Amino acid sequence: MPAPILLDQEPDPDTAKSSAPATQVSPEEIQADEQFCSKLEDRALLSGPNRRLRDLQLLFSVAKDFIVGFRSLHFVGPCITVFGSARFAEDHPYYKLARDMGAAIAKMGFTVLTGGGPGIMEAANRGAKDAGGRSVGCNIRLPFEQSHNPYLDRWVTMEHFFVRKTLLIKYSYGFIIMPGGFGTMDEMFEALTLIQTRKLKSFPIVIMGSDFWPEMRHFMEHMLKGATISSEDLDLIKWTDSVDEAVAHLQEKAVTQFGLRRYRVPQSSPLLGEKALEGVH
């Protein structure tokens, strides 16, 4: 197949055999686009080519996100990350299930790590506090208000979604997936892909809220029939609504498999401005 021809400019309409009429972009539209991109670092990073100096600034912004995240989460202890929607109120059954799961994770000795926002994230962090455990959040700056929930011992706010997702995975020894939207799906399949491609060891993934997932389970079976995944890939997932079953799975696949010493964390240095999380030894 011949390589596509890349043009430096639009072809002459008089000589082109067929072409759509060129759309003129007004100065006002250009200014509106620039204003849109200027409000969040992520927008500018994802908006295509920038001036060289601007791209360098954006690289430093990404590095800053990673450094702040590393310094904030390095000393919180081994985590289990809970993913789920920000849209469930505290009277919703999924909120209650996530809260119970957060408490159970804390009782195992793990730190509960979430995206730091409301809904399922708040519920899991709240459950950790109910049980006297450690609760940490990795929030994201959005164009609409999303403040961290009030049940966090420590939190950090990221500019870049992909940095946040990396941090939520980096410090975790297992993942609890609760019902959620596009963001939750993104986080779930990111974790599955990293495990499938051996970028991560086979960390446990527990999916809870069974009445939410029938179509997703059916679609995964469809992918298996279409040979786009293997049966071993589906074995990565534990489907359950039982907190006890989830805990047993985490115990077998996280604690036992890795010989995990749950309370062992790096020593923080006050000279470097590092602070251990209270209760972590």
Q: pLDDT per residue over 162-205, tens digit each?
A: 999 999 999 999 999 999 999 999 999 999 999 889 898 778 99
pLDDT at 64: 94
Q: How many CA atoms lie within 13 A of 231 on its CB side?
A: 0
* Confidence grade of residue 277 (pLDDT, cut at 50, 70, 90): confident
pLDDT at 261: 56
pLDDT at 276: 74
SS3 content of the chain, % helix, strand, coil (to 5): 45, 10, 45
pLDDT at 280: 55
Buried b (16+ CB within 10 A) or exposed e, 19-39: eeeeeeeeeeeeeeeeeebee
Per domain, the residue ranges of the chain are 30-65, 78-264
pLDDT at 31: 62
pLDDT at 44: 80
Cβ burial of 16 (10 Å; 0-12, 13-18, 19+) is exposed
Work out whether the CA dihedral 281, 138, 125, 175 comes out positive or negative: negative
More confident: 135 or 15: 135
Residue 212 has pLDDT above 90, yes or no: yes
Q: Report d(CA 222, CA 204) in Å as an integer.
A: 23
Average pLDDT, the chain: 85
Query: What share of the chain in percent tops pLDDT 90?
Result: 58
**Residues 62-78: what's their mean pLDDT?**
91
pLDDT at 29: 62
* Confidence grade of residue 270 (pLDDT, cut at 50, 70, 90): confident
Q: Report d(CA 114, CA 127) in Å as an integer.
A: 12
Assign 107 to helix, strand or coil: helix
Question: Do 176 and 105 form a contact (C-beta atoms < 8 A)?
Answer: yes
More confident: 215 or 13: 215
pLDDT at 45: 83
pLDDT at 65: 94
Residue 247 has pLDDT above 70, yes or no: yes
Q: What is the pLDDT of residues 11-62, one digit of tens each?
A: 555 554 555 555 677 776 656 666 665 567 777 888 888 889 988 999 999 9
pLDDT at 100: 98
Highest mean pLDDT among 9-18, 69-78, 107-116, 138-147: 107-116
pTM, full prediction: 0.81
* CATH classification number, 78-264, choose in 3.30.1360.120, 3.40.630.40, 3.30.870.10, 3.40.50.450: 3.40.50.450
Highest mean pLDDT among 126-135, 187-196, 271-280: 126-135
Buried b (16+ CB within 10 A) or exposed e, 216-254: eeeebeeeeeeeebeeebeebbbbbeebeebbebbeebb
Residue 207 has pLDDT above 90, yes or no: yes
Token couple for 13:
């309409």
